[in-house]
Structure 1
Amino acid sequence: MPRRLRHLRRFLSRWQASAGYLNRTLALETWFPHLPLGLAVGLLGVVHLLPPLIRALGLRFYSQTLTTLTLNLVNVGLAGLPQIGVGLFLVSMSVGLLLRSRLAWVTTVLALGAGIVLLLLQPGDHLHDWLLPYSVVLLIGLLLSFRHFDRSSLATATLFAFTCLTVLVGYGVVGSYLLGDLFQPPIRTLEQALYFTIETLSTVGYGDIVAQAPQARLFLVSLISAGMVAVASIFGAILVPLISRQMEALFHRRKPMNRKDHYIIVGASALAYNTFQELCRRGEKITFILRREPEGTPYSDLDVVVGDASDIEVLKQAGGEQAKAILALTDDDSENAFIVLAAKELGKVRTIAAVNDARNLKRLRRVKPNLVIAPPVLGGELLAMALSGETIDSKRLMQLLMGSI
């Protein structure tokens, strides 16, 4: 049994090493899984748009005059509009998925569920045979990868709101224009369709254009319902976070820290945060340098400077000239090296750099930081010693941790 356990541990160790190498080689964190999922959702939206448009245009079998084309568009009526709405919504939400927006992820999951219901209610054809399982697999993929969609920035929310509003207005204009003969007076131009859509969404209701047929009334029901959902989403996505942020700044405003005799930690890695916690327990002052403004993270209430730490001006802003040490603890070894080089231009401040890949250890030493720390090298050595039954040498472990071997 112990031998099998050792084999299992060795297999898991090799698998983790292979997965880590593949992750670093392909830079998976920068594009997976949000890029393929976003493209897949966009493709699904386009596919949802095709059947009702093809039925409306009648391009499968014959060319049409303008009169025949208009008649076919009207005959599509409400039957194709819900599917068109789902398709437009999925295409717009694919942009939010590419930005790893949590809000876009939630709305896409809901839209996919609605799309699956529509497909189940429609008669099957050759397109239906693969579209339904494709939607189900895509929904499962989104549910399994929800941890990767963790961004909730104001810029993403604004883009989401603008996209929703654009799609909604487009849906209203196209729908009212295609069903124009079912209104009194009839809607003949796109300008009239735009006017009627804005009038409906704003709930003004002048009464100058009235729906006469059941199809037109049902279309207005869908437009008004979608408008209420869009307004609620826009309010929740933009106004609520903005108001909450202002209230928090008003009631929890902190005085800026005196950036002198402090430590500067660069990066948002696990090593950076653990180092911060241990230094805080010892009563030290800490300033973080992060590439983007922290939102909903453990760093949101700390002294943070936003910028590129390899820029000497950013280091000066963080008080680098009066700091006890500058710790380059990002997940990118090349970035850590550039941070050390920039810190050396400030004077005699101590520099500490972390190495994430043992192959970069010698390269990082060339920039001559005061201390190099290599936790992955130490972890690999400890695992190898434990698996082979070797005696753990504390002196050797310290050399590995400090990158001295």
Structure 2
Amino acid sequence: MLRQLNINRLLLAIVLTSLSLVIGMTGFMVIEHYHPVDAFYMTVTTIATVGFGEIHPFSQAGRLFVSFYILYNLVVVAYLVSVMSSFIFDGELRKIYNMIRTDQEIKRFSGHVIVCGFGRNGRRAYQELRANGARVVVIESDQELMKSITSGSTGEDYDGDGLPGGGIYTVFGDATTDLVLKQAGVERASALITSLPKDADNVFVALSARALNPRLKIIARASLKTSESKLLSAGADSVVMPDEIGGSHMAKLVVRPEVIRFLDLISGLSADKLRLEEMSFEQLRRDLHGRSIRELDVRSITGATIIGMRTAAGSLMVSPPVDYVPAPGDVLLVLGSEEQIETFEVRFRQL
């Protein structure tokens, strides 16, 4: 990672400077038999090239040592100045501070969602997750891409998750490696979306993430149909093929346009968007347990409609019978406007 490379450059500059001090003091003490304090003084004045003069005249061996020592320090000082200039004037220190702060914040995350790759699909997933209140960590290898997005130069709006300068919680690096996934908190995450451009990379991410967190929900992007089975075998729970979905969507706009427009309302692609929300039996207010769908009377109270239900057995029920009584493990699917769903949440969700 670039951050690690910059830190390594700074550490190397510090090591070379420390080594220069050790070499200088050792040389003056061994060759010229200086006291340690005098050796330190001569070392510093030689490195700084201030020219205060010798404590006592050098021997021929001492002059030879000082000559090579000065040449060595010309290189060390030039490297140290270039590194420090980069850190001070190019804002590297601030960047490293912000990255360390971000890493510390991510270490406290639990139940968050990780998005691998911040291309078109990754950005759309991020926006949808943030709109629904999820905490998101992005893994991206291209720092310039993230810089352009957070600065607003792409024309896209991001709330920044509260980071300094309107940034996004980001781990820079290769998402296929265990180290980067761990930095993103994969062991504590609830879900991971991998939307890298190459199917093979998405397979590696799914494989690594599943090994690090067996309970993790993994959604993977695929370009080729043949990659679907590989991703599922690698540990992905679901595979999405954007190209295939896009082609099907365009065809249905021809043959069933009103159906697609209705789906656009639900997906938020239309200006007058609807919201499809789910609520499990366990999230339902306790005093409403044991009531049938008719007795719940969701439509009259909120204006929203129960359009489906996933039963505890795993089957999906469309327009469940009004006499059906939700049971533990069931999940209600409710459709309505933002205001109707908010009313539903207030009136029916267990606080």
Higher strand share: 2
Q: Bigger radius of gyration, 1 or 2?
A: 2
**TM-score tier (shorter):** 0.3 to 0.5
More helix by share: 1
TM-score, scaled to structure 1: 0.34
